[in-house]
Protein backbone atom coordinates (compact mmCIF):
# COMPACT_ATOMS: atom_id res chain seq x y z
CA UNK A 1 0.00 0.00 0.00
CA UNK A 2 1.35 3.42 -0.95
CA UNK A 3 0.37 6.82 0.42
CA UNK A 4 1.56 10.24 -0.72
CA UNK A 5 1.89 13.03 1.83
CA UNK A 6 1.86 16.57 0.48
CA UNK A 7 2.91 19.51 2.65
CA UNK A 8 1.30 22.65 1.29
CA UNK A 9 3.02 25.23 3.47
CA UNK A 10 5.51 27.57 1.81
CA UNK A 11 7.53 27.28 5.05
CA UNK A 12 9.41 24.19 6.17
CA UNK A 13 9.26 23.11 8.89
CA UNK A 14 5.77 24.28 9.75
CA UNK A 15 2.88 23.32 11.97
CA UNK A 16 1.04 21.71 9.07
CA UNK A 17 4.12 19.73 8.02
CA UNK A 18 4.41 18.52 11.63
CA UNK A 19 0.97 16.93 11.27
CA UNK A 20 2.28 15.09 8.20
CA UNK A 21 5.43 13.98 9.96
CA UNK A 22 3.33 12.42 12.70
CA UNK A 23 1.09 10.77 10.08
CA UNK A 24 4.08 9.37 8.20
CA UNK A 25 5.49 7.82 11.37
CA UNK A 26 2.18 6.18 12.24
CA UNK A 27 1.62 4.80 8.73
CA UNK A 28 5.22 3.63 8.32
CA UNK A 29 4.83 1.63 11.53
CA UNK A 30 1.94 -0.17 9.78
CA UNK A 31 4.20 -1.03 6.81
CA UNK A 32 2.62 1.54 4.52
CA UNK A 33 5.00 2.95 1.92
CA UNK A 34 4.89 6.73 2.35
CA UNK A 35 6.24 9.09 -0.31
CA UNK A 36 6.63 12.59 1.07
CA UNK A 37 6.31 15.76 -1.00
CA UNK A 38 6.42 19.42 -0.01
CA UNK A 39 6.37 22.65 -1.96
CA UNK A 40 10.15 22.95 -1.65
CA UNK A 41 10.46 19.95 -4.02
CA UNK A 42 9.33 22.24 -6.84
CA UNK A 43 11.18 25.03 -8.58
CA UNK A 44 9.03 28.09 -7.78
CA UNK A 45 9.08 29.26 -11.40
CA UNK A 46 7.74 25.87 -12.53
CA UNK A 47 4.68 26.40 -10.36
CA UNK A 48 4.31 30.10 -11.08
CA UNK A 49 4.57 29.70 -14.85
CA UNK A 50 2.61 26.42 -14.99
CA UNK A 51 5.45 24.41 -16.49
CA UNK A 52 3.78 21.07 -17.03
CA UNK A 53 7.08 19.58 -18.17
CA UNK A 54 8.60 20.14 -14.71
CA UNK A 55 10.49 16.96 -13.70
CA UNK A 56 9.23 17.21 -10.11
CA UNK A 57 5.63 17.63 -11.27
CA UNK A 58 5.92 14.64 -13.62
CA UNK A 59 7.33 12.52 -10.79
CA UNK A 60 4.55 13.55 -8.40
CA UNK A 61 1.89 12.74 -11.00
CA UNK A 62 3.46 9.33 -11.64
CA UNK A 63 3.61 8.55 -7.92
CA UNK A 64 -0.01 9.66 -7.49
CA UNK A 65 -1.07 7.25 -10.26
CA UNK A 66 0.30 4.34 -8.22
CA UNK A 67 -0.81 5.57 -4.80
CA UNK A 68 -3.77 4.36 -2.80
CA UNK A 69 -4.20 7.53 -0.78
CA UNK A 70 -3.10 11.10 -0.18
CA UNK A 71 -2.69 13.02 3.05
CA UNK A 72 -2.52 16.71 2.30
CA UNK A 73 -1.68 19.39 4.89
CA UNK A 74 -1.93 23.13 4.58
CA UNK A 75 -1.86 26.25 6.68
CA UNK A 76 -4.91 28.48 6.40
CA UNK A 77 -4.18 32.03 5.29
CA UNK A 78 -6.87 34.67 4.73
CA UNK A 79 -9.68 32.09 5.19
CA UNK A 80 -8.33 29.69 2.56
CA UNK A 81 -5.60 27.14 2.06
CA UNK A 82 -2.10 28.14 0.91
CA UNK A 83 -1.98 29.77 -2.52
CA UNK A 84 1.20 27.94 -3.50
CA UNK A 85 -0.57 24.64 -2.81
CA UNK A 86 -3.50 25.77 -4.99
CA UNK A 87 -1.04 26.53 -7.77
CA UNK A 88 0.38 23.01 -7.53
CA UNK A 89 -3.05 21.37 -7.41
CA UNK A 90 -4.06 23.37 -10.50
CA UNK A 91 -1.23 21.69 -12.44
CA UNK A 92 -2.39 18.16 -11.69
CA UNK A 93 -4.43 16.29 -14.30
CA UNK A 94 -8.20 16.43 -13.89
CA UNK A 95 -8.43 12.86 -12.55
CA UNK A 96 -5.21 12.89 -10.52
CA UNK A 97 -6.99 11.71 -7.36
CA UNK A 98 -9.31 9.18 -8.99
CA UNK A 99 -9.58 6.02 -6.88
CA UNK A 100 -7.71 7.73 -4.02
CA UNK A 101 -8.68 8.21 -0.41
CA UNK A 102 -7.74 11.72 0.76
CA UNK A 103 -7.22 12.93 4.31
CA UNK A 104 -6.97 16.74 4.57
CA UNK A 105 -5.11 18.33 7.50
CA UNK A 106 -4.92 22.04 8.22
CA UNK A 107 -3.53 24.48 10.74
CA UNK A 108 -4.47 28.07 11.43
CA UNK A 109 -4.12 30.84 13.94
CA UNK A 110 -7.65 30.42 15.25
CA UNK A 111 -10.54 27.98 15.09
CA UNK A 112 -12.38 30.61 13.05
CA UNK A 113 -10.43 29.23 10.07
CA UNK A 114 -11.61 25.65 10.58
CA UNK A 115 -14.20 25.73 7.80
CA UNK A 116 -11.60 26.68 5.18
CA UNK A 117 -10.96 22.97 4.67
CA UNK A 118 -14.61 22.28 3.84
CA UNK A 119 -15.26 25.40 1.78
CA UNK A 120 -11.93 25.90 0.02
CA UNK A 121 -9.76 22.75 -0.04
CA UNK A 122 -12.32 19.95 -0.34
CA UNK A 123 -13.96 21.37 -3.51
CA UNK A 124 -10.56 21.34 -5.23
CA UNK A 125 -9.88 17.77 -4.09
CA UNK A 126 -13.33 16.82 -5.33
CA UNK A 127 -12.61 18.44 -8.71
CA UNK A 128 -9.55 16.16 -8.95
CA UNK A 129 -12.00 13.23 -8.63
CA UNK A 130 -10.93 11.85 -5.25
CA UNK A 131 -12.81 8.64 -4.49
CA UNK A 132 -13.30 9.56 -0.84
CA UNK A 133 -12.41 12.74 1.02
CA UNK A 134 -12.38 12.16 4.75
CA UNK A 135 -13.46 14.60 7.45
CA UNK A 136 -9.89 15.66 8.23
CA UNK A 137 -8.29 17.46 11.14
CA UNK A 138 -7.89 21.17 11.86
CA UNK A 139 -5.45 22.36 14.53
CA UNK A 140 -5.10 25.90 15.76
CA UNK A 141 -1.59 27.14 16.49
CA UNK A 142 -1.93 26.60 20.24
CA UNK A 143 -2.32 22.84 19.70
CA UNK A 144 1.11 22.42 18.07
CA UNK A 145 3.64 23.52 20.67
CA UNK A 146 6.77 22.36 18.82
CA UNK A 147 7.23 21.75 15.14
CA UNK A 148 10.92 22.57 14.70
CA UNK A 149 12.11 19.18 15.96
CA UNK A 150 9.89 16.27 16.95
CA UNK A 151 6.28 17.47 16.82
CA UNK A 152 4.56 18.06 20.16
CA UNK A 153 0.76 18.21 20.15
CA UNK A 154 -1.89 18.72 22.78
CA UNK A 155 -3.52 15.45 23.90
CA UNK A 156 -6.77 16.47 22.19
CA UNK A 157 -5.05 17.06 18.83
CA UNK A 158 -3.08 13.83 19.08
CA UNK A 159 -6.28 11.89 19.77
CA UNK A 160 -8.04 13.52 16.81
CA UNK A 161 -5.06 12.74 14.55
CA UNK A 162 -4.99 9.12 15.71
CA UNK A 163 -8.72 8.78 15.05
CA UNK A 164 -8.38 10.37 11.60
CA UNK A 165 -5.46 8.10 10.71
CA UNK A 166 -7.44 5.04 11.84
CA UNK A 167 -10.34 6.17 9.63
CA UNK A 168 -7.88 6.74 6.76
CA UNK A 169 -6.42 3.24 7.28
CA UNK A 170 -9.89 1.71 7.20
CA UNK A 171 -10.84 3.71 4.08
CA UNK A 172 -7.69 2.52 2.31
CA UNK A 173 -8.73 -1.04 3.03
CA UNK A 174 -12.30 -0.38 1.84
CA UNK A 175 -10.81 1.05 -1.32
CA UNK A 176 -8.63 -2.04 -1.72
CA UNK A 177 -11.70 -4.25 -1.28
CA UNK A 178 -13.69 -2.32 -3.87
CA UNK A 179 -10.85 -2.64 -6.38
CA UNK A 180 -10.63 -6.42 -5.90
CA UNK A 181 -14.33 -7.02 -5.34
CA UNK A 182 -16.16 -9.27 -7.80
CA UNK A 183 -18.83 -6.54 -7.80
CA UNK A 184 -17.68 -3.94 -10.26
CA UNK A 185 -19.45 -2.70 -13.40
CA UNK A 186 -23.09 -1.83 -12.56
CA UNK A 187 -23.01 -3.83 -9.31
CA UNK A 188 -23.24 -7.19 -11.08
CA UNK A 189 -21.31 -10.11 -9.67
CA UNK A 190 -18.89 -11.81 -12.00
CA UNK A 191 -19.38 -15.55 -11.80
**Main-chain dihedrals φ then ψ at residue 138, nearest 5 degrees:** -115, 135
Element containing residue 123 per DSSP (H, E): helix 122-127
Cis peptide before 185 (omega within 30 of 0): no
Asked if residue 28 has pLDDT above 90, the reply is yes
* pTM, to two decimals: 0.90
**Backbone torsion region of residue 112, taken as left when φ is above 0, otherwise alpha when ψ lies between -120 and 50, otherwise beta:** alpha
Domain boundaries, the chain: 2-180
Asked if residue 179 has pLDDT above 80, the reply is no
Tell me what the mean pLDDT of segment 71-93 comes to.
96
In the CATH hierarchy, which top-level class contains the domain 2-180?
alpha beta
Give the tens place of pLDDT for each residue, 85-112: 999 999 999 999 999 999 999 999 988 8
If DSSP codes are grouped into helix, strand and coil, which group holds residue 130?
strand
C-beta of residue 127 within 8 angstroms of C-beta of residue 93: no
Nearest to 148 by CA among 18, 38, 37, 5: 18
Least confident of 9-13, 16-20, 73-77, 124-128: 9-13
Predicted local distance difference test score (pLDDT) of residue 178: 53
Packed helices 155-180 and 15-29: angle between N→C axes, nearest 10 degrees: 50
Report the C-alpha gap between 191 and 182 in whole angstroms: 8
Report the C-alpha gap between 177 and 174 in whole angstroms: 5
Beta strands in 2-155 (DSSP E): 2-7, 33-38, 69-77, 80-81, 101-108, 132-133, 137-140, 144-146, 152-153
| DSSP character at residue 92 | S
Arithmetic mean of pLDDT over the chain: 91
Q: Is pLDDT larger for residue 27 or for residue 113?
A: 27
Amino acid sequence: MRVITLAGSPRFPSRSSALLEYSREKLSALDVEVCHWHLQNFVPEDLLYARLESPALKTLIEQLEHADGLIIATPVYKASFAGALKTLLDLLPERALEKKVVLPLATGGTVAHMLAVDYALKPVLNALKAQEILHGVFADDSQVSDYQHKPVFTPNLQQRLDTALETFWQALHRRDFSVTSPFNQQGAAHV
